[in-house]
Amino acid sequence: MTSAPLSLGEMLRSRREHLTPADVGLESFGRRRTAGLRREELAQLAGVSVDYITRLEQGRARTPSQQIVAALARALQLSRTETALLHRAAGLTPPASGTVSHHIPAGVQRMLTRMSDLPLAVFAADWTQLASTPLWQALFQAPSVAADPNQNLLVQAFVDDSISGVATAHGGPDAFERALVYDLRRSAADYRDDPRFRAFVADLRTRSPRFAALWDEGRAAAHQSIVKTVHNPLVGDIVLDCDVVVVPASDIKVVIYSTSHRGTDAEKLDFLRVSAVRAMHRSLDPS
């Protein structure tokens, strides 16, 4: 006799209770009745209200959107199989193969937690940002993905120009733009049957003549490491190495900024690191 599959609420509660704050890069505050994550902590990580988490776990809310389920899966560090089960429990179709994945592998989730002292972010194949460390947010004065899940580096570079005054690539903005477009072109063959990917590229071509011209060159190449000067309003300009690592067997990209351990740039990054930790503590314990 087989047991019935877990409900959405049961899956959320079970996984939450098996994670510790340290697992997700949070510090533990106050007395805890259980070792697992509190609902408040899961809500913060997923960018939803505590009341909504409560209603999901109690079965009073049963139809979350695809975006919310994806955010919950990332916050709970679910595997690809567990993420598919969570979608089905919510009455949703799991993301199909051949489509741009927003699933962050468990190893990358752990990397985000253990490398939180670096400005680090995770991106999908279409350069949608999936997660970032508090230091990344402090460096670029950017919201977390939970606060703004619609951040896309290509849109920021070619459509709204929101990053043009934030960082300058050594070699000029053309080098950075080409790196982004050529990397996207490299992924195009894998996602030619993904209607959202095709629509995304078509929309960029319509809205940005610069993007269209680079896309029509037809060149494809993985994003290379680059040196950038980041213009931060708190500490001024910081020169940093920017490295892009593609996760094996996926098109998930990890972008890491770093500098040497000594010098003015390192001191500025240390200042932002302390600021990021303080901001995180205030958000978790506003009292």
72-92 pLDDT, tens per residue?
A: 988 888 888 888 899 898 888
- Whether residue 96 lies inside any domain: the answer is no
For residue 84, give the CATH number of its domain. 1.10.260.40
φ/ψ (deg, to 5) at 256: -125, 130
**Using CA atoms, how far apart are residues 2 and 38, in angstroms rounded to an integer?**
31
| pLDDT means over runs of 10, the chain (287 residues) | 73 89 73 79 87 91 85 85 88 80 85 89 95 93 89 94 86 87 90 91 96 94 88 94 87 92 92 78 52
Does 115 share its domain with 83?
Answer: no
For residue 122, give the CATH number of its domain. 3.30.450.180
Q: Integer distance in angstroms from the first to the last C-alpha of the chain?
A: 51
**Using CA atoms, how far apart are residues 61 and 144, in angstroms rounded to an integer?**
25
* 36: number of Cβ within 10 Å: 19
Does 85 share its domain with 110?
Answer: no
**Using CA atoms, how far apart are residues 156 and 143, in angstroms rounded to an integer?**
14
**Using CA atoms, how far apart are residues 17 and 13, in angstroms rounded to an integer?**
6
**Using CA atoms, how far apart are residues 266 and 282, in angstroms rounded to an integer?**
25
Domain stop point among 63, 89, 115? 89
Does 266 share its domain with 138?
Answer: yes
* 223: number of Cβ within 10 Å: 23
H helical segments located in 23-163: 39-46, 50-57, 66-75, 80-89, 106-114, 134-140, 153-158
- Whether residue 258 lies inside any domain: the answer is yes
* 241: β partners: 227, 258
**Using CA atoms, how far apart are residues 136 and 119, in angstroms rounded to an integer?**
4
What does the pLDDT read at residue 44?
84
CA distances from 225 to 112, 176, 243, 256 (A): 19, 10, 5, 10
What does the pLDDT read at residue 1?
43
The closest alpha carbon to 251, from 193, 191, 208, belongs to: 191
Does 118 share its domain with 79?
Answer: no
- Whether residue 31 lies inside any domain: the answer is yes
Which domain covers residue 241, as residue numbers?
106-284
φ/ψ (deg, to 5) at 212: -60, -40
Q: Is the separation of the CB atoms in 41 and 138 below 8 Å?
A: no
What does the pLDDT read at residue 244?
92
**Using CA atoms, how far apart are residues 87 and 175, in angstroms rounded to an integer?**
39
Residues 169-219: tens digit of each pLDDT: 888 878 889 999 999 999 888 898 899 999 999 999 999 999 999 999 999
